[in-house]
Amino acid sequence: MAAGGMGGMVQHIDSKEVKPEVMDTQEEKLRKSLLIFAAAFMTFAVMLWLAIYWMMGLNFSSNVPLGYQAVSVASLIYYMRTRNFEVLRFVQLTLFLFAPFIMQWSIGSSVTSSGVALWALLAPIGALVVSGWKESIPWFFAYIVLTAVSGFFDFYLGSGTATGIPMNTIGVFFALNFAAMSSILYFLVRYFVVETEKIKIQLDQQHALLAEEQKKSERVLFNVLPSNIAERLKNSQGLIADGYADVTVMFADLVNFTQLTEQMSPEQMVGLLNTVFSGFDELSEKYGLEKIKTIGDAYMVVGGLSRERPDYVEDMANMAIDMLDFVARHPALVKRNLGIHIGIATGPVVAGVIGTKRFIYDLWGDTVNIASRLTDDARQGHILTDKLTYNRLRFGYLFEPPNVLNVKGKGEMTSYRMIGRVAHADGPDTAGNVYHLPAAGGAPASA
């Protein structure tokens, strides 16, 4: 039972003392530490002054420092138990403001008390530091009012040297009061400035880390989405949907991959796919085309979403040829007897971002369906295009005679198989006038 009671007490202390501190911001922690620092300094100064007064036999003024210490220590203990900073702040600022004036009035005048009321300036200064400039205004106003009242007492009711304190002693206390008050204000402000600079450095570091994380997030976003769509998504959270009158869509599907998965470990399978699709990604970057997605072992890319490269149909054809060449030449893919077949179609599409988690940018429309059907009908190492794509490419590329396909959902459709590319004088194909597509599992030939 006792153990249970002790455990409950510990939990109560944790909930009262630890959790509020954890929730504090850096600025709130600084304000609390500044007030505790000032309160501790004042308590020490009061003890010193009390000792000096006792040594000099000035017992008539000892009650004020004793009362100050009692209230100050009580407020600190209350704060340690409850973590109620508002109560501690009000009590300490009230002590800072009234105790020096009461001390002065108990001794006599501002001269005989050696200007002890100067300590009251700590109240508005402390409020300015630990609360804010708006909250410090009433404290400053109260300080001015009490100073005026004290001056009135000095002028009309002051008794000069009635206390019997020698002028040389008064002068020493003037020096002590000014030195001590100046010191506490200096160290209070210095501590505030130093800690503020530390907070600023921490904020700068956090801002730099946040900026770096933002850059990483943006890189991921730009890798997932086309650049213009990523920019729009950053600037707007609304629905993104566009219609394009003319784009070129390509699907590339791996051949023999399903059979290979039965012979490979998961790591080998993912590694092989990564090799293939990373190579395709580099080619899409080379030709300024937009990778849309991978679907299992299929790769989808589109050209024409932006008009920065007007020859996107030719770019797509060149990428398709380079993809065949990449698969035919890469040792790891040749070893696995891996191949691809490609379908390309040109026409209108609808594009947009769907989903709120793991969103994707996708294309819809007849052009997408035609490209997918052409891929299904293409054999390994073949590139099939629709008629519109053929019409755009027929002067710079070689095609077999048209072939009529019976496409599910479309009926009969004319397709064209690309077999080569006409070399240009300033182009890369310097071995001959015609570049022939690589045969399945073989290397390209030139004639």
Q: Which CATH class is domain 235-421?
A: alpha beta
Per-residue pLDDT reduced to its tens digit, 14-70: 444 434 454 567 677 777 877 887 777 777 777 777 777 667 665 555 677 778 888
Whether 298 contacts 310, CB under 8 Å: no
**Cα–Cα distance between 301 and 288 in angstroms, integer?**
11
How confident is the model at residue 41, as a pLDDT?
75
Q: Does pLDDT of 136 surpass 90?
A: no
**Cα–Cα distance between 53 and 261 in angstroms, integer?**
94
Give phi and psi for 170, each to the nearest 5.
Answer: -60, -40
**Cα–Cα distance between 182 and 345 in angstroms, integer?**
83
**Cα–Cα distance between 327 and 322 in angstroms, integer?**
9
- First-to-last C-alpha distance (Å) of the chain: 97
Nearest to 53 by CA among 97, 107, 96: 107
Lookup: tokens for 191: 């501590």
**Cα–Cα distance between 106 and 102 in angstroms, integer?**
6
**Cα–Cα distance between 383 and 368 in angstroms, integer?**
16
Which range among 211-220, 226-235, 261-270 has the greatest average pLDDT? Answer: 261-270
Whether 383 contacts 440, CB under 8 Å: no
Mean pLDDT of 330-341: 86
Type and span of the H or E element at 51: helix 26-56
**Cα–Cα distance between 32 and 106 in angstroms, integer?**
32
Confidence of residue 425 (pLDDT cuts 50, 70, 90): very low
Tokens 């790891």 sit on residue: 332
Give me the residue spans of the domains in the chain: 20-154+167-211, 235-421
Type and span of the H or E element at 447: none
Confidence of residue 443 (pLDDT cuts 50, 70, 90): very low
How confident is the model at residue 231, as a pLDDT?
67
Q: Does pLDDT of 317 surpass 90?
A: yes
Q: CB neighbours of 355 closer than 8 A, spacing ≥ 6?
A: none
Supply the mean pLDDT for the chain. 77
Q: 347 forms bridges with which residues in the sheet?
A: 247
Within 10 Å of residue 86's Cβ, how many Cβ atoms?
A: 9
**Cα–Cα distance between 381 and 375 in angstroms, integer?**
11
Q: Does pLDDT of 210 surpass 70?
A: yes
pTM of the model: 0.54
Per-residue pLDDT reduced to its tens digit, 338-348: 889 999 999 99
Q: Does pLDDT of 332 surpass 80?
A: yes
Whether 100 contacts 76, CB under 8 Å: no
How confident is the model at residue 8, as a pLDDT?
42
Lookup: tokens for 25: 């911001």
